[in-house]
Structure 1
């Protein structure tokens, strides 16, 4: 874990030994993989300093030097702040992890008309702390799916985490309650997913769709009710992926009537139970477990720490 601190609009990190000899240019390009346009902004607007002085981007860094980045400037916001109760799983100056309840959209489809989404609540949370900035969601969950969602508090954190998501360095583990007892207790579902041309929101397994891979492991079985609690993790992030894949193998999620699930619970039984990622600036491994929020409980007798 790196030694870091915040000084107003500036973020400071003490250059560690394993950065010795690297340049600021290489940190932006190779370590953080910051997009060229954002990198250009930091260079031209002199938003990087070494020991309080404007930095030379090509000079090798010395261990123990104070690298300072202007990360926390006020910016124009494009999301309407809207107060709501939030369950915060992790927060610091750079990132925010929230436990999304079911029956709320992750982000507004129409920013001017729709204000009661998780993004609007996160924006209000920042504003209440005196942070006048847009919040940036790194991934999303379906409206009726609950669990952990990762947000970035500034542009550079957003860029680094967006890249980490693409490179599968952010691990999301889901818990699903599915119909039936699976014969294979651990396995992988590989089936391309495309749009269903007969339904505006439904997806389906299609040879012409996008490649999709879901890994799963049965956590617990209710043999009396013929139900299975299944842990899932993804190599891809297609819309409705877990829902489509388990319906495809004959075990639809309970409550997921769009894909053939029995309406015995009030929503599709899917919860983003755990989120794991490496912090973009401290190099700390962050692991967040998201408590279940349903009343009555859908996922009974499940220990989150085993997920």
Structure 2
């Protein structure tokens, strides 16, 4: 798929499908077939657009009502937001340490979550759409989070997540000197019956695979880069603890305490295919100050 020519006009996306559609006797049927084959358009969404007269043909243009106004669904609450990438379909923002991704009822009245902050950003910028994150990060993990800005983008990016086509690279500082032989951790992860928040490696758990690259070995810790083949809860934290090298600051999984005050884990790079154009998007998120400072301390120990 490669859609180079498109325009947004208010609530409408305007495309130029070419003679495959405009030259057909049944242009409406040809347009629907073109959407399914060229854009891999989600069939359910296509049916919804048809039912609501959201597909229009005007001359050589095909118009789709992809930017219909949607309720925010999350209360707007302002927080300083670092936008790493944005267009009409996608938003990528940095999630700081100590901020939950979404309201879960536990501290909803007090704490501002990333979803709240995105809702506020949408409101302030006149973006009339629902707040929909595509993947998650732990409360104390920093890094980029991808949001879908319309129903089409959400359907495409959710499908990409299911097919493991959204690539996330992490940097972590693990305790001890990690051997260069540790390149892949393949160990299923399940819930820990003895601790509500914790996960553990368990034969009956879900498949979990983490790829490990050693970057720097220091006296007391090792800087590693990690890629996830699967996306289980706490996967990196569980796997490195299982390998005998829990993350520095990760008290839940046996990591040594440090003034960073959280697990030393940061999402460095997010790669995904743009839902409309098919272009490869790569978003980098620089290390936060506390991670930089920990790396500096370890390198001087």
Q: Structure 1-normalised TM-score?
A: 0.86
User: CA RMSD, aligned part only?
Assistant: 2.5
Alignment of 1:55-94 (within 5 A): 65-94=60-89
- Residue 260 of structure 1 pairs with residue 254 of structure 2: yes
1:126 is displaced (CA, Å) by 1.0
Distance 1:86 1:44, change over 3 A: same
Residue 297 in structure 1 maps to residue 292 in structure 2: yes
| Residues 217-236 of structure 1, C-alpha deviations (whole Å, 9 max, x = no match) | 111222xx321111111111
8 Å CA contact 1:9–1:71 kept in 2: the answer is: yes
Aligned position for 1:226: 220
Partner of 1:139: 135
Distance 1:146 1:282, change over 3 A: same
The number of residue pairs the alignment matches comes to: 287
Aligned to 1:297, what secondary structure does the other structure show?
A: helix
User: Secondary structure of 1:74's match?
Assistant: coil
For 1:239, which of 233, 238, 241 is the aligned residue? 233
Q: Is this contact kept in 2: 1:81–1:115, CA < 8 A?
A: no
Structure 1 match to 2:11:
9
**Paired position in structure 1 for 2:175:** 179
Residue of structure 1 in register with 2:299 after alignment: none
Query: SS of 2:289's equivalent?
Result: coil
Aligned residue for 2:147?
Answer: 151
CA separation in 2, counterparts of 1:139 and 1:246? 21
Closer/same/farther in 2, CA of residues 248 and 4 from structure 1, 3 Å limit: same
Per-residue Cα deviation, 1:96-139 (whole angstroms, up to 9, x for no partner): 00011110001111396466100111111111111222111000
Unaligned residue ranges in structure 2 (runs of 5+): 297-301
Could you tell me which runs of 5 or more consecutive residues in structure 1 were left unpaired when the two chains were aligned.
53-64, 302-307
- Following the alignment from structure 2 to structure 1, what is the Cα–Cα distance between the partners of residues 40 and 117? 29
Task: State whether structure 2 residue 41 is matched by structure 1 residue 47.
Answer: no
TM superposition score normalised by structure 2: 0.88
